[in-house]
Structure 1
Amino acid sequence: MLVQLAITDFAIIDSLSVSFSRGLNILSGETGAGKSIIINAVNLILGGRTSPDLIRTGADKAVVEALFQLPLQSPLSSFLRDMDIPFNGEVLIKRTISKQGKSRVWINGSLATLQMISKLGPHLISVSGQNEHQLLLKPDNHLFILDDFGGLTKDRLMLNELYRDYYSLKEKIERLKGRLKEEAERRELTQFQIKEIEEAKLVPGEDSRLEAEKSRLMNAERLIDIAFKGYQALYEKDESVLSILSILAKDMDKGGTIDPHLDHYKKQLESAQVQLEDLALELRDFYSHLKVDPRRLEEVEERLQLIRRLKKKYGSSIENILSFKEELSQKEYQLTQTKEELKRFKTQLEEKKQDLLNLATKLSLKRHEIAKEFEKKVEEELNLLDMAGTRFRIKFISNQSSSDNISADMIDSILTADGIDVLEFMISPNVGEDLRPMAKIASGGELSRIMLALKTILARSGLIETLVFDEIDSGIGGATAAVVGEKLRSLANYHQILGITHLPQIAKCGETHFLVEKKVSRGRTRAFITSLDRESRINEIARLLGGRVISEKTLAHAREMLSP
């Protein structure tokens, strides 16, 4: 609810602060006293247009502040959190207008944008008589009104959630398709690369071994010659190293009988003989097994060329090539998994599509069923509000003539988050006139009463916390005015109501009554607002009854009207 409204240097208001109560708050006063200025200030809180002309003469800026109280569980709490606005049960909106025409906005002390209050404001307060700020007049909201009347809001919210899930899944499928398309374009290359690497049957370290073998094969004749000469020098020649050592060993054996020290040298010599014999045999084995093999050399060279080619394409080493092949294999596996995931998602999508179709169809049927009852109730309320003969109809503008004919294949083209129905309220306030969209009704008085009728029917919905009725008494009087007053009082059981009126029949129904006056003070015209006590209220009701001259009879009538 709107707890407090503070206005500074706005039009003829220099400083005004008013605290509103729950229930029906009545504002009355002479024509031109400033009631419309207060409404204009409220509209600024809703994001209305500004102009430097609105600033009081002599002031630098105009300021409007509105304090609202909301339940902590209010749906608007999440809306505020999404805008990073702190919320503790109160919403304070402040807006300033500078002489340069610039406007600044704060919500709960945080600097905000005009767009933010334009979205938030209309959910806090609705001003009837100002078409651009009436949520209930926008065709986009008519579906919600009908759902609320028929108790279908929960069904619609379920549909909203299912719709979000459906299109979220659909987006996932499209992303997977895109990924698969990209992978498909590369898959032929990937498979070729995997095959090429696998067919090579690479072994880590193989290239080093092949390089060594290649070197041996290329120098085989020279190596054989070297090894053969070494063998001969050690073993086969008449004056081979081993034969010379054998003679020397015999001499040392003889010398050992003379000097035992030679036995030590003899042993070392014999050890050297054994080692040299082993070396000679190894050299013989080496050159006997080593062959000049041009064919093998060609095979080794071809193998090394293959490895070098693969290194150039896939990595600087065999280990890197094999690692690259593992990455490719993993991509192939992931591609297979993606295909399986896509298949699974498509199955889920078809299931959700059928669920959407079933729920949307049921919801559409219920809407058509309750539409007739809603039309009847609106016409009954309008009849009580001195609009007898008014016709009210709900025009369904669905993409499909009958929900029975809707197939799952058509659902993407006709379904929205709120179902398959598009509708608009149509009205003919005068007998013989064609039905027209409700938003195009010209008469302010008719429009206010139509809105009052709708809000009376939807009183328990709580869609909007605070309702402001301007021109609610336009074109009515007498018994009709009394009915309007009682309707406002009834509606105030569910909403905070601010009603501006010139009729005593409506004014008497208020729980709180404010008098708006225009006075000259210190050479300047100023607007004031006063909360009336009982006696002051009697005087104001009497003024509304009898004009400037108030008689005792008029006062008595006013007292009678205010009597319980």
Structure 2
Amino acid sequence: MLHELSIRNFAIIDDLQLTFGPGLNILTGETGAGKSIIIDALSLLLGDRATAEWVRAGADVAEIEATFHLAQPNGSATASATEQANEVIAEVQRLLEAQGLDEPDSPQWLVLSREVRLNGRNICRVNGRVVSLQILSEIAGHLIDVHGQGEHLNLLRPRTHVHLLDRYAGLLPLRREVASRVAALRKVRAELDRLRQDARTIAQRMDLLQFQVEEIFAADLQPGEDEELEGERRRLANAEALLSLAQAATAILSEGEGEMPGAIDLVSEAVGRLERLARIDPDMNAAAEDAQALLEQLAELARHLQDYAEGLEFNPERLQEVEERLELIHNLKRKYGDTLEQILAFGQKARDELEELSNWEVRTSELEEAEERLLHEIGQLAAELSAQRQAAGEQLARQVEAELADLQMARARFAVAVNQTPREDGAYLPDGRRVAFDATGVDQVEFLISANPGEPLKPMARVASGGETARLMLALKSVLSQADATPTLIFDEIDQGIGGRIGAVVGQKLWRLTGQDRAAQGDGPGVTHQVLCITHLPQLAAFGDRHFTVNKQVQQVDGVERTSTVVRCLEGEARIDELAQMLGAATATGRRSVEEMMAEVASVKAGARHGGVLSSVPKG
């Protein structure tokens, strides 16, 4: 769960430290105080776009740091829910270990941070180590799920419905199997399209490939040959000068010039004298040995030069052959690669393609068989996926309708439409039909609703009013979140468009997501969550296990008025005062109403913990 959040120099937030607890954490306060800015800060950890505009005026960098406690689920969760929660923690640990970001000394703690600088640069860190934004957001995405006001729009987009249904029903593994077959089919079809070009194009390509293969492999290139030829050409082209220089050097070493004896003779005489000197003074033995070694080196050098000179030849014909060979290699490099290895690799690739095109009819037949096989496999798996979606859709509809009844839409009907579209080149279903498909399967999933009795089921975007959409979204989120193992769920002002009495029901539902109503029973369904919620409704806020108030304060800083966000954790009388102000009745009577509301909430929570039905709704 999210344990601590630190925000510095972000928008109107100067320096803020928040410690959240398990259960339902409520944030309230006046409009514009910075409640949603706190959620915006967390969203940056999830990969939202960051700009210099987020940096507080007068500062150079904004910093967001979140500390998470990777706790194992408690005994209130079912085996299935425990398994889901364990999978989330295991996946986070796997990501950390893969990137070398784990902390063996304290594996239960994780720190994510992001800096936004005025120059536009962003720095992301995990456990203090710099990472890419992709890694940061991937890890954070397993730990936090933000449900903002924009969720209303997402629910009105039918393309998102299949993802919501599959997540609810736990169908993602089966869907991944379908997606892998679809990816394989797309690869097969791409190759088929390439092979099914007209015969003239294939013939032209084969002629070009045949020429390239013959030109490259007829040259019989040998690795390192070009460098050896370059050296041989230099020797052949300069044979006369090389011979003259080698002979002159040999003569100086062995014969000398004019009356001057050769260097070897001079050194030999010096060696003799040093040997006599060493016999008199043994300390000179080393010098005599060095001189003898020098004499042997000069003699070896003279022999090497003699052999070199004898190996030189004036061979214009060989020089012509070398130059022609180098010209051939140069032309091949100009066409096919900068090195002999690259030329040979190009030739092998051309040879492979030529062989493939030479057997294109056989290959085409093989690919057509693979296409048919994959279309049947996709259809079989997708049909299984579709059947499970149908069953899950009916179950989801019943649960959503039950939630809507709690939200004063008892006569509303909800349904999940799962349809297929016929297509001649589509996947083969077991019943013989061919239907369109994509990586999600063969279904078009859409949520339908009838808000009023007698009205037919229609797409949500065409039926639901603003308030009905908000309640429908809450019903769906309440149901879907029970199947979502993300530890921390954040709801940003999702009470828009609903009244106080329904707000109390929403508060109950959010509190139930924390699993506290199952804590004493140990056999309740679903996953337990830490929930953070921003709200303007006191009836909802009353259900909070921890209540924060967010306010603005204006201070004089260097003679200039600066606005900052201040957050306080409310308890006792301070919380009653806040709820009374939210009711718009900051009077003794208002306080009594709040006290009655709090007592009723406590009674509802106690009844739920002991297996009671959440039927009592605080009036507020």
Q: Structure 1 length normalisation: TM-score?
A: 0.60
Q: Please report how far the alpha carbon of residue 453 of structure 1 lies from its aligned counterpart in structure 2 after TM superposition.
A: 1.0
How much does 1:394 deviate?
3.4
Does residue 449 of structure 2 align to residue 421 of structure 1? no
1:199-253 superposed Cα distances (whole Å, 9 cap, x missing partner): xxxxxxxxxxxxxxxxxxxxxxxxxxxxxxxxxxxxxxxxxxxxxxxxxxxxxxx
**Distance in 2 (alpha carbons) for counterparts of 1:182 and 1:161:** 31
1 CA distance for matches of 2:145 and 2:209? 64
Secondary structure at 1:417 match in 2: coil
Distance 1:132 1:385 in 2: 18
Cα distance in 2 between the residues matched to 1:81 and 1:175: 42
2:150 to 122, 131, 134: 131
- Distance 1:52-1:433 versus aligned 2 partners, 3 A rule: farther
Supply the AA of the counterpart residue of 2:132: A
Aligned position for 1:517 = 551
Q: What are structure 2's unaligned runs of at least 5 residues?
A: 71-84, 215-347, 516-526, 607-620
SS in 1 for 2:553: strand
2:33 corresponding residue in structure 1: 33
The answer to whether residue 171 in structure 2 is matched with residue 152 in structure 1 is: yes
Aligned partner of 1:473 in structure 2 is 495
Distance 1:402 1:416 in 2: 15
Q: Assess if the C-alpha contact under 8 Å between 1:485 and 1:509 holds in 2.
A: yes
Match of 2:442, SS state, is coil
Where 1:455 maps in the other structure, the secondary structure is helix
Q: Is the 8 A contact 2:209 2:351 kept in 1?
A: no
Mark the structure with the bigger radius of gyration: 1
Decide which moves more: 412-421 or 547-556.
Answer: 547-556
Indicate which of 470, 486, 499 corresponds to 2:508.
486
* 8 Å contact kept, 1:515–1:529: yes
- 1:487: Cα distance to partner? 0.7
Q: Distance in 2 between matches of 1:501 and 1:329?
A: 69
SS in 2 for 1:474: coil
What runs of 5+ residues in structure 1 fail to find an aligned partner?
195-326
Match of 2:130 among 105, 110, 113: 110
Matched, 1:394 2:416: yes
Tell me, yes or no, if the aligned pair for 1:538 and 1:558 is still in contact at 8 Å. no
**Aligned residue in 1 for 2:477:** 455
Equivalent position amino acid for 1:416 in 2 = D
Q: Secondary structure at the match of 1:4?
A: strand
1:57 counterpart residue number: 57
Distance in structure 1 (CA, Å) of the matches to 2:12 and 2:352: 76
Query: How high is the sequence identity, in percent, across the aligned residues?
Result: 34
Q: Secondary structure at the match of 1:458?
A: helix
The C-alpha deviation readout for 1:63-91, integer Å capped at 9, x for no partner, is 33344566785386599689969466746
CA deviation after TM superposition for structure 1 residue 333, in Å:
8.9
The secondary structure found in structure 1 opposite 2:396 is: helix
| Separation (CA, whole Å) in 1 of partners of 2:93 and 2:189 | 27
Is 1:425–1:437's contact at 8 Å kept on the other side of the alignment?
A: yes
SS of the counterpart of 1:158?
Answer: helix
Matched position secondary structure for 1:371? helix
Following TM superposition, by how much is the alpha carbon of 1:172 offset from its aligned partner in structure 2, in angstroms? 6.5
Aligned counterpart for 1:531 among listed residues 569, 578, 587: 569
Task: Give the structure 1 partner of residue 181 of structure 2.
Answer: 162
CA distance in 2, matches of 1:53, 1:188: 57
SS of 2:551's partner is strand
Partners of 1:27 and 1:513 within 8 A in 2: yes
What's the secondary structure of 2:443's corresponding residue? Answer: coil
Q: Which residue of 2 aligns with 1:507?
A: 541
> Deviations 1:446-469 (Å, cap 9, x if unpaired)?
444322211222233226443222
What is the aligned partner in structure 2 of residue 553 from structure 1? 592
Shift of the alpha carbon at 1:121?
6.1
> Is contact 1:390-1:427 (8 Å) kept?
yes
Q: 1:554 to 1:171 in 2, by over 3 A?
A: same
Corresponding residue pairs, total: 426
The one-letter code matched in structure 1 to 2:474 is L
- CA distance in 2 between counterparts of 1:117 and 1:429 reads 41
Q: C-alpha distance in 2, partners of 1:80/1:120?
A: 7
Q: Distance in 1 between matches of 2:533 and 2:424?
A: 43
Query: For residues 141 and 560 of structure 1, what CA distance do their matches in structure 2 show?
Result: 40
Q: 1:333 to 1:485 in 2, by over 3 A?
A: closer
- List per-residue Cα deviations over 1:493-525 (Å, max 9, x = no partner): 233211122333322222222222323445543
The amino acid across from 2:445 in the alignment is L
Instruction: After TM superposition, give the deviation of residue 389 of structure 1 in Å.
Output: 4.3
Question: Which string of whole-angstrom CA distances, capped at 9 and with x for unpartnered residues, describes residues 247-296 of structure 1?
Answer: xxxxxxxxxxxxxxxxxxxxxxxxxxxxxxxxxxxxxxxxxxxxxxxxxx
The answer as to whether partners of 2:407 and 2:505 remain within 8 angstroms in 1 is: yes
Assess, with a 3 A threshold, how the Cα gap between structure 1 residues 401 and 164 changes in structure 2: closer, same or farther: closer
Displacement of 1:429 in angstroms is: 5.0
Greater shift after overlay, 167-176 or 144-153? 167-176
Maintained 8 Å contact 2:52/2:116 = no
